[in-house]
Amino acid sequence: MEPSLSVVLRFGSRPISNVAEFFRPSNLRKRKKLVNVKLWTSEIECSLKYIDDCLDGTTRGTCMVVLKAAEEDFEAICTEGNDMERLYLQSSPCANAAGSKLNVCVRDMFRNLQKATEKGAPNQAVYHACCYFGALLDCVDASLGDCNNSTESKEFIMGRLEHIFGEAFSLVCGTYTQGSASCSALPVLPEVEPGTPEPVSNLVEYGILVMQLLGRRDSAPPVGN
């Protein structure tokens, strides 16, 4: 089952297999009537408990920001009559049309985060992750195109990425932002060897791995020295 935009919007171990499925309006209505909203909620609650019980310092704070933002979005999208629900349903045709391209964007993000944790210098891993997030935003933006001439729909989809992950990255990235000179100055990381298994299966776990390396960034010379 390949990663999809649903992996960006969801943190459990059973991601929806493609963007089109996640954005199909009938599936939203089924989720509200059946178990998936409860599943989303329970997964976030479980993740929040893990973060609260098992993490500390910057790692804990940053991961908490991500999960709280996701919780806000899920609750709003799954509330009937909410403007977020309207935008979610309105954006479905755009996301469906770009589904396969968006899946590639997220799959590449997973591969890049694995490179950051396995191939990057420990004191630079978080900066590589910051820059790779910028690359994800660029990829999603390009994949959506004009979003069927609906600026509002495109802004909604991009906004979910930026709301859930943007604030957390802003806490740790400094000047390593989308398209920045700092990102350009980072060394290009080698690709992960073919056949290497991914150590984890969701972005929150990758975030924890990256953030656990954050404390090491001050123990080595800055980039370029």
Higher local confidence (pLDDT), 92 or 13: 92
pLDDT of res. 224: 46
Determine the Cα–Cα distance for residues 167 and 26; give it in Å rounded to an integer.
31
Higher local confidence (pLDDT), 58 or 152: 152
User: Could you tell me if residue 41 is inside a domain?
Assistant: yes
Tens digits of per-residue pLDDT, 111-121?
898 899 889 88
3-state helix, strand, coil in the chain (%, to 5): 70, 0, 30
User: Could you tell me if residue 16 is inside a domain?
Assistant: yes
Q: Can you list the alpha helix ranges (DSSP code H) found in 10-91?
A: 19-22, 25-33, 36-54, 57-77, 83-90
Q: What is the mean pLDDT of residues 172-177?
A: 92
Which range scores top for mean pLDDT: 14-18, 149-153, 158-162?
158-162
Determine the Cα–Cα distance for residues 11 and 44; give it in Å rounded to an integer.
7
Q: Which domain covers residue 165, as residue numbers?
A: 5-219
Tens digits of per-residue pLDDT, 188-214?
999 988 888 876 666 667 777 777 766
Find out whether 146 and 154 touch, Cβ atoms under 8 Å. Answer: yes
User: Could you tell me if residue 104 is inside a domain?
Assistant: yes
User: Could you tell me if residue 165 is inside a domain?
Assistant: yes
Residue keyed to tokens 């996301």: 95
pTM given for the model:
0.76
Mean per-residue pLDDT of the chain: 77
User: Could you tell me if residue 224 is inside a domain?
Assistant: no
Q: What is the mean pLDDT of residues 13-42?
A: 51
User: Could you tell me if residue 225 is inside a domain?
Assistant: no
Quote the number of domains for the chain. 1
Query: Please, which residues have CB within 8 angstroms of residue 204's CB and are 6 or more apart in sequence?
Result: 11, 47, 63, 66, 67
Query: Please, which residues have CB within 8 angstroms of residue 167's CB and are 6 or more apart in sequence?
Result: 65, 69
Higher local confidence (pLDDT), 157 or 57: 157
For residue 157, CA distances in Å to 145, 183, 209 come to 12, 24, 26
pLDDT of res. 36: 60
**Count of all residues that appear for the chain in the document:** 225
User: Could you tell me if residue 15 is inside a domain?
Assistant: yes
pLDDT of res. 186: 96
